[in-house]
Amino acid sequence: MRRTATPPGKHATVVVTSPTVASTDGSDNAAVEPAPASSPRPPVGRRVSGWMFAAVPTGRVAAFRTVVYLFVALDPLWFTPWVRSHAAIPGVFYQPLLVGRLLHLPTPTPLLVNGIFWALIPLAVAAATGRAPRLLGWIVFALYFEWMIIAMSYGKVDHDRFGLLVALAVLPTAGPARHGGTRMTERGGWALRMTQVAVIATYFLSSWAKLRFGGLGWLTSATLERALIRRGTPLTDLLTSMRWPLLLAQFGIVAFELSSPIVFFVRSRLRYWIVGYFYLFHVMVMLTITISFAPHQVAMTSFLPLEKVRPIVWTRRFLRRPGDRLHRTRTKPSADDEHRSSAPSPAVVDGHR
Averaged pLDDT of the chain: 85
What are the sequence ranges of the domains in the chain? 57-203+228-238+255-307, 310-340
Per-residue pLDDT reduced to its tens digit, 253-296: 999 999 999 999 999 999 999 999 999 999 999 999 999 999 99
Eight-state DSSP code of residue 179? T
Per-residue pLDDT reduced to its tens digit, 62-103: 999 999 999 999 999 999 999 999 999 999 999 999 999 999
Q: Give the pLDDT of residue 24.
A: 44
Q: Give the pLDDT of residue 85.
A: 95
Residue 25 has pLDDT above 50, yes or no: no
Residue with more model confidence, 338 or 25: 338
Residue 226 has pLDDT above 50, yes or no: yes
| DSSP string across 216-278 | GGGGGSSHHHHHHHHH--GGGHHHHT-SHHHHHHHHHHHHHHHTGGGGGGS-HHHHHHHHHHH
Q: Give the pLDDT of residue 21.
A: 44
**31 φ/ψ angles, rounded to the nearest 5 degrees:** -80, 140
Residue 211 has pLDDT above 70, yes or no: yes
**pTM, to two decimals:** 0.79
Q: pLDDT exceeding 70 applies to what percent of the chain? A: 79
Cα(29)–Cα(22) distance, rounded to whole angstroms?
A: 8
